[in-house]
């Protein structure tokens, strides 16, 4: 080790020792604390409303995203694991203990579920046997289309989910799946909380909705994925109003 390097090492060790003594003796970091925003994208230093604007803009401009978690709407809880982009989306939804898959390519929406879903929805076993495990085309005029297509629409879903209700404030630095975040809250948390990435693009990473209406995580921002039409022998055109659970 050179004399210069040795000197730097000793100075670093001395500063660390002094900082430790300051913390132990006073409980204060004083000038020894590290800047929590050092090496970040800088949004942690902004007011909460500016952070919200930047993270919404980032989400809107991203080509794709994966979201997972729970959404409570009209008193009903849906557990989602969806990948979304401008041309559609795919993934799974669970409600009342019954899971089903959704696939939308352009305007065409498919619903794929097991016999349990269809039997519960239709009230007879024959529907379950016919539709079990098939991609069922959902007519655009069917109430199910509007009900379920929203889960596959990136813009509609994010616009509704990323809205916080009430006065905004920052609530410290946190971490989500190994990524440093800054948290913003509305009405001290009762109006929802949102963790925003401090690394790279300030994407939203975790959301707690107001009023206990669900918690979601966001990942795979900007990572494209394929949307493939189901094979003909895997598809059923129900041709009329679908049964819904």
Q: In whole angstroms, give the CA distance from residue 207 to residue 176.
A: 11
Residue 236: phi and psi, rounded to 5, are -125, 130
In a domain, 213, yes or no: no
pTM metric for this prediction: 0.81
Task: Please give the pLDDT value at position 131.
Answer: 86
The total number of residues written for the chain in this structure: 245
Q: In whole angstroms, give the CA distance from residue 4 to residue 11.
A: 11
In the chain, the N- to C-terminal Cα span, in Å, equals: 72
In a domain, 8, yes or no: yes
In a domain, 55, yes or no: no
Instruction: Say yes or no: 101 and 26 in one domain.
Output: no
Number of domains in the chain: 2
Per-residue CA distances from 228 to 1, 4, 90, 111, 236 (Å): 60, 61, 10, 14, 16
Task: Please give the pLDDT value at position 48.
Answer: 98
Q: In whole angstroms, give the CA distance from residue 155 to residue 66.
A: 13
Among 245, 187, 178, 167, which residue's Cα sits nearest to residue 217?
Answer: 178
Instruction: Say yes or no: 20 and 91 in one domain.
Output: no
In a domain, 223, yes or no: no
In a domain, 129, yes or no: yes
Q: In whole angstroms, give the CA distance from residue 134 to residue 51.
A: 44
Question: Consecutive sets of 10 residues in the chain, 245 residues long: mean pLDDT of each?
Answer: 40 42 43 79 97 97 97 92 96 94 96 85 56 91 89 94 94 96 96 98 97 96 96 83 58
Per-residue CA distances from 200 to 58, 126, 154, 164, 172 (Å): 11, 52, 21, 23, 18
In a domain, 166, yes or no: no
What residue numbers bound the domain in which 15 lies? 3-32
Task: Please give the pLDDT value at position 243.
Answer: 58
In a domain, 45, yes or no: no
Q: b/e for 78-104, b at 16 or more Cβ within 10 A?
A: bebebbbbeebbbbbbeeeebebbbbb
In a domain, 127, yes or no: yes
Task: Please give the pLDDT value at position 20.
Answer: 44
Task: Please give the pLDDT value at position 10.
Answer: 41
- Count of CB atoms within 10 A of residue 21's CB? 11
């Amino acid at each position: 080790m050179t004399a210069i390097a040795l000197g730097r090492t000793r100075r670093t060790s001395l500063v660390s020792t002094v900082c430790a003594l300051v913390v132990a003796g006073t409980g204060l970091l004083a000038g020894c604390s590290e800047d929590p925003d050092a090496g970040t994208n800088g949004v942690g230093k902004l007011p909460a409303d500016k952070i919200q604007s930047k993270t919404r803009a980032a989400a809107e401009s991203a080509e794709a995203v994966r979201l997972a978690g729970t959404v409570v709407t009209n008193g009903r809880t849906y557990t989602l694991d969806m990948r979304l982009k401008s041309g559609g989306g795919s993934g799974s939804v669970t409600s009342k203990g019954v899971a089903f898959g959704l696939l939308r390519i352009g305007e065409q929406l498919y619903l794929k579920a097991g016999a349990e879903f269809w039997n519960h929805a239709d009230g007879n076993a024959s529907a379950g046997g016919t539709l079990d495990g098939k991609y069922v085309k959902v007519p655009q005029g069917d109430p199910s289309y509007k009900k379920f297509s929203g889960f596959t629409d990136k813009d509609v879903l994010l616009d509704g989910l990323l809205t916080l209700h009430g006065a905004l404030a920052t609530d410290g630095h946190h971490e989500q799946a190994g990524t440093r975040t800054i948290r913003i809250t509305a009405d001290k948390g009762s109006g929802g909380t949102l963790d925003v990435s401090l690394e790279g693009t300030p994407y939203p990473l975790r959301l707690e909705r107001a009023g206990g209406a669900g918690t979601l995580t966001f990942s795979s921002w900007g990572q494209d994925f394929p949307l493939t039409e189901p094979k003909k022998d895997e598809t059923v055109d129900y041709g009329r109003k679908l049964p819904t659970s």
